[in-house]
């Protein structure tokens, strides 16, 4: 059976109420055997990672060792990842700071995995403007080119649909008392 992997990412400035919605989504997917890919940043990333207790069901890609106090062993960014990141980076890559380049390289792994050839099945994210902005935007541009479905929790309809699905599945699994 193919491994079930999704990417859970978003803005470091994700509002608390969205982070509070992300955690049950992540918990639900974790209980269904889905592996989460994320990036160890504050906000959405941390909210996707925190409910997942089994280390085998999370791939947390860091731009460098110990990023944001995270102890994930996935902190090396390869030349191939950096090259791919440069293609999807909307600014002048040559003059971009090394730390920013490493963060953008890390974003490639969140979507395509460590081998860069195992795309996630879908992405759940939060962007502050509902668009492809910031580092999350870079990951979303990659996902779009690879045909990966994107569910941005900035959109109230998407939030409603996700929770309707989760609640419906939970309710249909409850056995009648009589």
Distances (CA, A) of 73 to 7, 24, 59, 129: 18, 25, 9, 32
pLDDT at residue 173 greater than cutoff 70: no
The span from the CA of 91 to the CA of 86, in Å, is: 9
Where do the DSSP E strands lie in 47-120?
58-60
Residue range 103-114, pLDDT digits in tens: 999 999 999 999
Residue % of the chain over a pLDDT of 70: 94
- Give the distance from CA 22 to its chain's centroid: 11
* Domain definitions of the chain by residue range: 5-170
User: Two tokens at 138?
Assistant: 């870079």
Among 44-48, 83-87, 132-136, name the one with the lowest average pLDDT: 132-136
pTM of the model: 0.92
Q: What are phi and psi of 22, to 5 degrees?
A: -65, -40
Topology of domain 5-170, per CATH?
Rossmann fold (3.40.50)
Residue range 122-154, pLDDT digits in tens: 999 999 888 888 889 999 999 999 999 999 999
The span from the CA of 108 to the CA of 112, in Å, is: 6
């Amino acid at each position: 059976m193919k491994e079930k992997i999704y990417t859970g990412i978003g803005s470091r400035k994700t509002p608390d109420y969205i982070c509070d919605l992300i955690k049950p989504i992540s918990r639900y997917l974790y209980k269904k055997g889905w592996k989460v890919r994320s990036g160890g940043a504050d906000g959405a990333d941390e909210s996707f990672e925190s409910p997942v207790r089994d280390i085998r069901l999370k791939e947390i890609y860091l731009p460098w060792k110990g990023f944001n106090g995270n102890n994930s062993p996935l902190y090396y960014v390869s030349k191939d990842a950096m090259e791919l990141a440069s293609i999807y980076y909307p600014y002048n890559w040559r003059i971009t700071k090394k730390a920013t380049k490493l963060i953008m390289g890390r974003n490639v792994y969140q979507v395509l995995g460590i081998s860069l050839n195992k795309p996630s099945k879908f992405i759940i994210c939060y962007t502050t403007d509902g668009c492809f902005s910031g580092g999350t935007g870079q990951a979303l541009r990659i996902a779009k080119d690879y045909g990966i479905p994107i569910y941005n929790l900035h959109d109230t309809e998407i939030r409603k649909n996700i929770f309707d699905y989760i609640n419906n599945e939970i309710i249909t699994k409850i056995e009648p008392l009589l």
